[in-house]
Structure 1
Amino acid sequence: MKITRNTIAKTEIKKLISNSEVALSHAEIQHELNDLCDRVTIYRVLDRLVDEGSVHRIVNVDGVIKYAECHDCETQHHHNHLHFSCEKCKSVTCLEDVIPSFKLPNKYQVKEVNFTLSGLCPKCSEL
C-alpha cells in the first residue's frame, strides 16, 4: 500500500486543477497559487498527482505540458480521449465524449494515446 502525503500545496494544486474547465500549465498553476510555494514544489506535486492517477499530462500543439483532472480512472488509469488545443486563447480541453479510433499495422502494441486537435474553441469561434 502506497502512502501519500497531503500537503497544503498538494491540496491547493489539486483543487485548482479540479475547479478548472481547461487543462493548466505549470506557469498558470504557479500564477494562480500566488507564491504559496516555489516552482520546484509545484513540479514535484504535479508529478506525484500524475503518479497517483488523479491528474494526467497533456502536451499541447506548442509542446507545453498541461495538467487536467482524471475522470473515470478508478479501476484503470487511461486517457485515450481527445484533447482540443485552441490556437487563439491557448486553452486545452479534454473531450471525453469523443472516441478516437485508429488502425495500426500488425505487431504494434499501444500503451498510451495522446490525441490533440487544434483549432478554435467555442468561445474564440464566437468572436
Structure 2
Amino acid sequence: MKVTRNTQAKTEILHLIQQSKVALSHAELQELLNGLCDRVTIYRVLERLLKEDKIHKAITTDGVVKYASCQSTEHHHHNHVHFNCTKCNTTSCLDGVEPQIQLPIEYKVETSNFTLSGICPNCNKI
C-alpha cells in the first residue's frame, strides 16, 4: 500500500478548494496561496488530489480547467453538471443534476464533462 504524505502545499490547496463555493482554476489557486509554492508544485498537488479522488475537474466553456471538492457520498461519482456564469466567470457544481445519455452499446465512456453556461443565481439578482 502506497502511503502519501501531506505537505503544507497539499493541505492548503485542498483546504482552499474545499472551502470555496465555486471551482477554482490553477491561476486562482496560485493567487490565493500568496507565494506558498510555485506553479509546478500546484500542478503536481492538483494531479495528486485528482488521483486520490479528493477533487475533480470542470472545464469551462472557454477551456479553463477548474477544480472542485468531491463530496463524500456512498455513491461517489463526477457525472454531475457544472455551471459556468458568463457574467462573474464562476464555475459551480450542480451535484443533483445528472445528464442521461444513451450511447450505442459498442461505445464505452471513460470520462465526461458537462458544462452549461449562462447567468448564475447571484448575477441574476442584479
Gaps of 5+ in 2: none
- Structure 2 letter corresponding to 1:95: L
Per-residue deviation, residues 39-84 of structure 1 (Å, max 9, x unmatched): 11111111111111101111110100000001136675x2011000
Q: What is the rounded CA distance, in whole Å, between the counterparts of 2:75 and 2:103 in structure 1?
A: 26
Query: Would you say how many aligned residue pairs link Structure 1 and Structure 2?
Result: 126
State TM-score, norm by structure 2: 0.94
Please state how far the C-alpha of 1:3 moved relative to its aligned partner: 1.1
TM-score by length of 1: 0.93
* Residues 1:66 and 1:125: Cα distance change in structure 2 (over 3 Å): same
TM-fit CA distance, 1:24: 0.1
Task: For structure 1, list consecutive stretches of 5 or more residues without a partner in the other structure.
Answer: none
Kindly report the root-mean-square deviation, in angstroms, between the aligned alpha carbons of the 2 structures: 1.4
The 3-state SS of whatever aligns with 1:29 is helix
Instruction: Determine the C-alpha separation between the residues in 2 that align with 1:94 and 1:38.
Output: 27
Is 1:118 the counterpart of 2:117? The answer is yes
